[in-house]
Structures are given as structure tokens and as C-alpha cells.
Amino acid sequence: MSESRIRIDRIQRDIEELAKFSCVEGIGCTRFTYTKEWCCARDYIMSEMKKSGLKVYEDPVGIIVGVLEGKDSSKPIVMTGSHFDTVKTGGRFDGMAGTVAALEVARVMKEEGFVPDRNIEFVALPEEEGARFGKGLFGSRAMCGKISDDELNIYKDEKGISFAQAMREYGLDPSKVGEAIREPGSIKAFIELHIEQGPILENEKINIGIVESVAGLRIFDVFVHGRSDHAGNTPLTMRADSFLASAKAVCAGTEKALEIGENTVLTCGYIDVKPGAFNIVTNETHFQIDCRSRSLENVDKVLDEVRKSLDASCTQNLGLSYEIKEKISMKEVPMNENIKKLMEREADNAGISTRRMLSGAAHDAMVMGSICDVAMIFVPSREGRSHVPEEWTDYEDIQKGTELLYRTVKSLASK
């Protein structure tokens, strides 16, 4: 990479300081939205923004905003940043890399006396992971007008505290969520840097991933009803085994995803069986499937295969039945082609290697795509690992990503 103003020591300091604000000591980083640890992280970010010469405020849902004023504040702004909540016992880079990169871009712009043609907003967003309340991408959905009053009261944390109650305890008014909405046309572009959370960049020894699109995804709750019987005296041909039918369905869907390709994946990460004894045939099985692909058409094909398998099991075992309930559905979101090309040019000028790639994970950028142009920069994840304490991205890689973020944001704010 050519000589850069981006300072790796400041990036490392920010990441390490933010990692300290965790409610679980010594095991990764756990920081849930509106908690004491979250407040500490908020105060650190706001302090660093102010040191960078930004005008700083907290919006009605807890989004931290630092504004670098431009020559014409009436023009649509350029926005960059990421989230600063974490999953339970997660790592120190997921979300933080993008938040810290935005901070460093602001610092460099102050040091060089850069005055943009339009305002630039540096943001740190809450509850992207959904780890506390079970409903993620909250900050970006709030800006895009996608939060309902019901949601704030329905979704609760493991202690039974609702989103609305937590907001009040934190000092926010849930009735003012609508004031966080950004009107279409008010934002020119939203640019997010994030760790890849996969192994491709490291394996191919490429510095940066330029995201083509964020995959479409659907998440389903599946309930299979059977009958409990003795594990030793009930022949396999006479069982209504809810777990066996569930396992066959997951395998059938996985085989279909492999056949389709196109980055189509199926995951069953949760399963609950009843009565839950080793010597009793299961009578109730609840599992969740998460399916993602370049196209929701592919997701539908996988789900069809899951249904076919369950139908076959029910035909063979008359005591079986099932129901499927959709929990989340999000269409694939393409990134802006002009910004992708701009990134490729700027990366080439800086001597940074790139490749285009799909994001299988959901990010705030995909939500922001409903009101403005969006783009994403991926930096490598060691061994592709994320959402675990061992999550790691080399600081040199974050520096390269931040250099590209700086050049991209500066260019977009100068036109």
C-alpha cells in the first residue's frame, strides 16, 4: 500500500479500549444495547468524535452521530459507520472495525483541514445484532422508518425487559422513535466497513472485499408433531418420530442448497425436542432454519425441498404433522455499481488488492439501501471466524480498509 495518513496505532487503541466495555470478563466481548457497558462504549466514541472536531449528538434511538460540516449543508449527506453492540461472548472486531474506521477517517480529515462540499456524518449504531431483544438492525431500520410501536413492546430480553422499557431506563422516549427517520433523498450514500466473517479474503490473500450485494435471507420456525413411544419396543416402521422427520428435512434442504450453488446456504442452529429423554421417541420437535442466497428464488427452492421431505415423512407415518412459520424475510440488496467502481479505482491507486464478493451476513447497509445508495468494504477475518472470542482481523488489514474508506468518502463528499 502507498504511504497512508491512516494511523494503525490509533485504530488498535480504539479497538482495544472498546473491547474493555464488556459484561463478561475474559471471554470475548459481550455488550448489549442500552446496558452499562454500552453506555461506556458510547461515551468513548462520543469523546473521540469531539476530539476529531465533529459536532456530536445522540438521536432518539441512541444512534451516535458526529457531523463534519461541509460547504453546503443543504446537499444530501455522505454517511459512514457501523454498529457497536455485540453478540454474547463475541469478538472485538464485528461492528467495531467499521465504527473505528469511521473515527479514524474523521481524525485524518481534521488533520488535513478537509472541508467537504456536503456534510459527512460518522455514525455508531445500536442493536444491529439483535442479541438483547431478538430483533436486529435496529438503528438502520429506525432511520428508514421500519420500526413499529408493537415491536418495541413485544420484543423482550431474557429478563423480560421490553425494548420500550429499556429505552426509557436508558433515558430515551420510545414514542419519539419516528424522529430518527431520515427522509429518502437526504442521504447521498451510506458506506460501511465490516469484517468479512468468512475465509475467502484470507485464503486468496486479497486485502479487501468489495461487496456486490447482501444475500437475501429467510428464517423459519418449523414445528413437527409426532407421538412418544418406548425406544426399545416400538419398531422403526411404526413410529411417528418428530425428530427423525426434522433431521431428514434439514438434510434434504441442505442437499438442495449444495445443488443450487450460487452461495446458497442452509443452517439449522437451533433445535428443541420433547420430551427430551434418550429412551423415548420424540413427540414434538421445534427447529429453526436460516436460508440465504444471491436470490430469494433459490431460498424458495430450498424451502420447497424441506416441505417435500416433511410431506413424505407425514405420508409414511400417519401420526406426524408439521407447520412452518416465517420469522424473517429480507430480499437481496445490491450495492451501488458506481461506488463499487470508485472503490476499485481508489484501491488500485493506493496499491490495495480487491475482489468483488457476496455478503451472506445481514448488515445495516442492506437496510439503508431502501433510502440511499450503499456500499460495503470487507476486511479479512482470520480463519473466517466471527461471533466467537477468537474473532480476529489484523490491524494492518483494518488500516488498508480504512484507507479505502477514507478515499471513497472523501471523493463522494467532494462531488
Q: Tens of pLDDT along 14-67?
A: 999 999 999 988 788 999 999 999 999 999 999 999 999 999 999 999 999 999
Name every residue whose Cβ is closer than 8 Å to that of residue 74 and which is 6 or more positions away in sequence.
Answer: none
The pLDDT of residue 147: 95
pLDDT reported for residue 67:
98
Q: What is the C-alpha separation between 153 and 141, in angstroms, rounded?
A: 16
Q: What is the pLDDT of residue 26?
A: 78
The cell for 32 is 448489549
What is the share, in percent, of the chain residues with pLDDT greater than 70? 100
- Tell whether the model's pLDDT for residue 129 goes beyond 90: yes
Mean pLDDT for all residues in the chain? 96
For residue 269, pLDDT over 80 is answered with: yes
pLDDT per position as a tens digit, 24-35 = 887 889 999 999
Strands 265-274 and 284-293, by their bridges, are: antiparallel
pLDDT given at position 25: 81
The total of other beta-carbon atoms located within 10 Å of residue 279's CB is 7
Residues 241-267 pLDDT 10s: 999 999 999 999 999 999 999 889 999
Pure H helices in 210-279: 242-260
Kindly report the backbone phi and psi dihedral angles of residue 371, in degrees, each rounded to the nearest multiple of 5, phi listed first: -130, -10
**Calpha distance 260→254 (Å, rounded):** 10
In 3D space, the residue among 226, 212, 234, 219 whose CA is nearest the CA of residue 335 turns out to be 212
Burial class (CB in 10 A: 0-12, 13-18, 19+), 66: buried
The C-alpha cell at 26 is 475474559
Read off the pLDDT of each residue in 370-398 and give the average, rounded to a whole number: 97
> Using 50, 70 and 90 to split pLDDT, how confident is the model at 328?
confident
First to last CA, the chain: 25
Confidence of residue 95 (pLDDT cuts 50, 70, 90): very high
Return the C-alpha cell found at 170. Answer: 436508558
What would the mean pLDDT of 267-280 be, rounded to a whole number?
96
State residue 146's pLDDT score. 95
pTM: 0.88
**pLDDT (0 to 100) of residue 162:** 97
